[in-house]
Amino acid sequence: MNSFPSICAVALIFAAALSPVSLVAQEAPPIEVRGEDGLDRLLQSIFTGPNAAMRPQVRSALLQTDQAKKLTALETVLADLRKPSGAYAFVAGERARTLAGVGRDDEARAEFEHLIETYPQTLPLRMLAIDALSFGSEAVAAARLWMELAATEPQAARLLDGYTLDAVSGNLEAIGRLDTQAALFLALERIGYDPGSAARASGMNYAIFTNAAEDPEREDVARAALAKVADPSALQSIRADAQYSAFWPAIDMSPETLTERVADYVGQIGRDAATTRDGATGGVFLRQAVAYGDPQAVLARYGNELERAFAASADAGNAPLGFAFWVSPIAKAHLVNGQANKADALYRQAIRAFSGMDSTIKLNASANYAQFLLESGRLQEALETIEPAIAELDEREMALNARAQMLAVKVRALHLLGRLSDEEPALKAFETLARDLPALYAQTMMQIGRFDAAQRAIATNLRGSNYRLALGYLQPSFAAHLSPSERRDEGLKGQLRYDPVIVRLLKEKGRIETYEPVRIELEQWPDITPPSEVFAEPVNAAE
């Protein structure tokens, strides 16, 4: 799965890729190029001379939505292209990217390695490899390639966008590679990489801080990163961690200051979403606006717009992809207002609006709808909705965090249906994916009545090197607006906080930071409408 801005940025510089002149000396390509007109300009810049006649065939292959047919079409193009050439390298890279998109990550990595060795001067191949491998099981390889690119060609490294950063970061976290995640973030911070939103920038600096703060000789790095951590929840976690007690005085979380921090953070995310029209950033803004702002105002400003967009796309099933990130927060706003029927209608409308796409994007809607059905007691419907989504992600071997969350829904549904013979294998699959996700694992275990398993998971994590995952999970929410399921889960977390073993470990590792619920009034409601995108294929974890 790849985001359109990244692919455009990469592909538009293939035309000169084989030139001995360093590509970073050239003007960065326009990332805002979109749609089929942008694709035509792209192909005109790459397929020149003897290869110009191939443009229609390449265009047809790139617009193919069936991934198996796309692979075949790209292979046919490759057989007819002159090599070596920038055009050949571009199509071969697209073939490798498509392999990653269908879950053949090991083949994709091997193909990219071969292409990078064959075309060492072709920076876009390295960029395509990073972008493609970030979304699946080769996230470590993607991170290493990105760090190498940052060290040697920083301008090229800065062209890869926030969708790619979200993907590689989430998959590294899912496999417990927080060290690699922090190293990548630090490498990108050093070259002035702009992740496109305050939320991503804050997450980067939180990881850099927690990594640097462990080394007394890197205190200056830690303090510089801490000053850039804007997410109040991250600051709560830092103030809860005894290892960072020397930094506590620098973090004012008094009621007035906390409210100001939340307002500034949410407001900046909204401005970022308005500037970039990045669907993922827009979704983060909406989640924060519902949690701390006015859910009714969010529905009036954005809920109606989302419904109109879906209504206009109902027949074709091709709604703008960025709207996928709006669905869950808008549905939550309905739930906070006690309107479960409207949340249900929105999810069903979303599934129809994305139904015409051969893309994992539609799993955003179906996975979150399954979660909603589960919370509504519609267990069989939840199971019938989540199982096809799991099967598709299993086939493509991507989005490790999302797969774990989807399996959690399946485990809970089977448990509540009393299908114990089916629950056990699903539980084993879930445990395999969630072994480095203690918060998700503990929450799921408590939801199926296995408190002892949840307690053991949190206790084990608190004793380990990545203990801050459990410590952060145990902190209470200070959001003003929680959905019914969020309120229930906060109560379950409270039971863990009072467990004698957890209490003892908390005294060793830190403390519980409790704040009063925060409510803010947003000064403006930015226009965050996502653009129509042809190639974007981000996937969001079930929430």
Express each pLDDT in 18-60 by its tens digit. 322 212 222 222 222 234 455 677 678 778 888 888 889 988 9
CB 326 within 8 A of CB 364: no
Both 436 and 304 in one domain: the answer is: yes
Both 243 and 149 in one domain: the answer is: no
Both 78 and 159 in one domain: the answer is: yes
Both 256 and 155 in one domain: the answer is: no
Report which of residues 2 and 314 the model is more confident about.
314
For residue 21, give its domain range.
Answer: 4-170
Assigned domain for 198 exists = no
Convert 76-100 to b/e letters by CB count within 10 Å (16 or more is b): ebbeebeeebbbbbbbbbbbbbbbb
Q: What is the pLDDT of residue 391?
A: 87
Number of structural domains (the chain) is 2
Both 154 and 247 in one domain: the answer is: no
Both 285 and 389 in one domain: the answer is: yes
Residue 18, domain CATH: 1.25.40
Structure confidence at residue 196 as a pLDDT band (50, 70, 90): confident
Assigned domain for 522 exists = no
Assigned domain for 293 exists = yes
For 137, the token pair is 């099981």
Q: What's the whole-number mean pLDDT along residues 291-296? A: 96
Assigned domain for 224 exists = no
d(CA 324, CA 307): 12
d(CA 46, CA 117): 21
Both 304 and 442 in one domain: the answer is: yes
What's the pLDDT tens digit per position in 269-286? 999 999 988 888 999 999
Assigned domain for 537 exists = no
Alpha carbon 531 to chain centroid, angstroms: 19
Both 245 and 162 in one domain: the answer is: no
Assigned domain for 253 exists = yes
Both 443 and 313 in one domain: the answer is: yes
Q: What's the whole-number mean pLDDT along residues 241-265? A: 97
Both 249 and 161 in one domain: the answer is: no
Residues 6+ positions from 224 with CB-CB distance below 8 Å:
none
Residue 438, domain CATH: 1.25.40.10
Residues of the chain above pLDDT 90, percent? 55
C-alpha distance from residue 39 to each of 44, 97, 114, 460, 533 (Å): 9, 17, 26, 51, 11
**By CB neighbour count within 10 A (0-12 exposed, 13-18 middle, 19+ buried), where does 445 fall?**
buried
Q: Which of 120, 135, 170 is the last residue of a domain?
A: 170
Q: Which segment of 86-95, 417-426, 526-535 scores lowest on mean pLDDT?
A: 526-535
Both 152 and 267 in one domain: the answer is: no
Assigned domain for 429 exists = yes
Assigned domain for 115 exists = yes
Both 302 and 440 in one domain: the answer is: yes
Q: What is the pLDDT of residue 181?
A: 92
The CA-CA-CA angle for residues 95, 97, 98, to 5°, reads 65
pTM: 0.80
Report which of residues 60 and 124 the model is more confident about.
60
Q: What is the pLDDT of residue 356?
A: 76
